[in-house]
């Protein structure tokens, strides 16, 4: 197992600080605190009850938000992803993911705050390898099939601003990128928080 620089204490501190600001989210995030209290390694992708991801909500000068089309999930999402061994903070992980997926360098964006604007727990569907008729893994099957069961992502989302545009997409994970208006976000709480922060 690879040791990550992000420790459980950093995740707990970030989560509890967030809940001090947004106590209305406590019921939804109580299971995450329970996992931490039980010693679960939320930095591990093998912790399928829930593991931490870092998301970047990037707003341009017109208040539009950057969305990427995720190849494996075939969905439009906000940039973000799993923690890596070199990450030292959740904010830094969100910046790294943004740069990797869009080519927008960290020095071209400004954090709106050092704390997450939103923490979302959402299900991820199983990603199992395709099988040939003989039952062996299909070498021509989807390249992104990782043999992962259904699991939960605990997405720490940070708001950033930029005057830059997308440069180079991470083609193995991202097929397209576009700027969208805030009202296109499905999550009403997230819409309200972003709109308030950008005022």
Question: Where do we find the tokens 């972003």?
Answer: 194
Q: Is residue 53 part of a domain?
A: yes
Cα separation, 23 vs 31, in Å, equals 15
Q: Is residue 171 part of a domain?
A: yes
User: In which band, very low, low, confident or very high, does the pLDDT at 135 lie, cut at 50, 70 and 90?
Assistant: very low
140: left (phi over 0), alpha (psi -120 to 50) or beta: alpha
Identify the CATH number of the domain in which residue 34 sits.
Answer: 3.90.79.10
Q: Is residue 2 part of a domain?
A: no
Q: Is residue 49 part of a domain?
A: yes
Q: pTM of this prediction? A: 0.86
Cα separation, 42 vs 72, in Å, equals 22
The pLDDT of residue 129 is 53
Residue pair 26/121 in contact by the 8 Å Cβ criterion = no
Residue 137 bridge partners (DSSP): 131
3-state secondary structure of 102: helix
Q: Is residue 151 part of a domain?
A: yes
Residue pair 153/50 in contact by the 8 Å Cβ criterion = yes
What pLDDT digit, counting tens, does each position of 45-84 carry? 999 999 999 999 999 999 999 999 999 889 999 999 999 9
The pLDDT of residue 107 is 93
What pLDDT digit, counting tens, does each position of 81-129 carry? 999 999 999 999 999 999 999 999 999 999 998 999 999 998 888 875 5
Q: Is residue 20 part of a domain?
A: yes
- Residue 49 CA to its chain's centroid (Å): 16
Cα separation, 24 vs 122, in Å, equals 17
Q: In terms of DSSP bridges, do strands 151-162 and 109-111 run parallel, antiparallel, or are they unpaired?
A: antiparallel
3-state secondary structure of 137: strand
Which ranges of 83-185 does DSSP label H, i.e. alpha helix? Answer: 90-102
Residue pair 154/147 in contact by the 8 Å Cβ criterion = no
Phi/psi for 165 (5° steps) reads -120, 170
For the chain, give the longest Cα–Cα distance: 59
Q: Which comes out higher in pLDDT, residue 140 or 82? A: 82
Q: Is residue 3 part of a domain?
A: no
- Residue 45 CA to its chain's centroid (Å): 13
CA atoms within 13 A on the CB side of 127: 16
Q: Is residue 108 part of a domain?
A: yes
Number of domains in the chain: 1
Question: Where do we find the tokens 């069961």?
Answer: 149
* Domain encompassing residue 32: 8-129+141-198
Q: In terms of DSSP bridges, do strands 75-77 and 65-70 run parallel, antiparallel, or are they unpaired?
A: antiparallel
What pLDDT digit, counting tens, does each position of 154-194 carry? 999 999 999 999 988 888 899 999 999 999 999 999 999 99
């Amino acid at each position: 197992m690879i040791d990550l620089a992000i420790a459980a204490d950093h995740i707990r501190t970030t989560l509890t600080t967030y809940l001090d600001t947004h106590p209305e989210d406590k019921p939804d995030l109580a299971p995450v605190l329970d996992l931490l209290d039980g010693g679960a390694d939320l930095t591990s992708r093998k912790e399928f009850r829930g593991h931490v991801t870092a998301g970047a909500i990037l707003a341009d000068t017109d208040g539009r938000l950057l969305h990427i089309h995720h190849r494996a999930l075939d969905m439009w999402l906000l940039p973000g992803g799993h923690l890596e061994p070199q990450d030292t903070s959740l904010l830094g992980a969100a910046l790294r993911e943004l740069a990797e997926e869009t080519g927008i360098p960290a020095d071209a964006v400004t954090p709106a705050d050092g704390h997450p604007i939103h923490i979302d727990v959402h299900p991820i569907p199983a990603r199992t390898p395709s099988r040939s008729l003989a039952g062996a893994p299909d070498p021509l099957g989807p390249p992104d099939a990782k043999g992962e069961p259904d699991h939960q992502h605990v997405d720490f989302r940070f708001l950033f601003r930029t005057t830059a545009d997308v440069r180079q997409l991470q083609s193995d994970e991202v097929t397209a990128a576009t700027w969208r208006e805030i009202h296109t976000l499905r999550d009403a709480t997230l819409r309200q928080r972003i709109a308030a922060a950008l005022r």
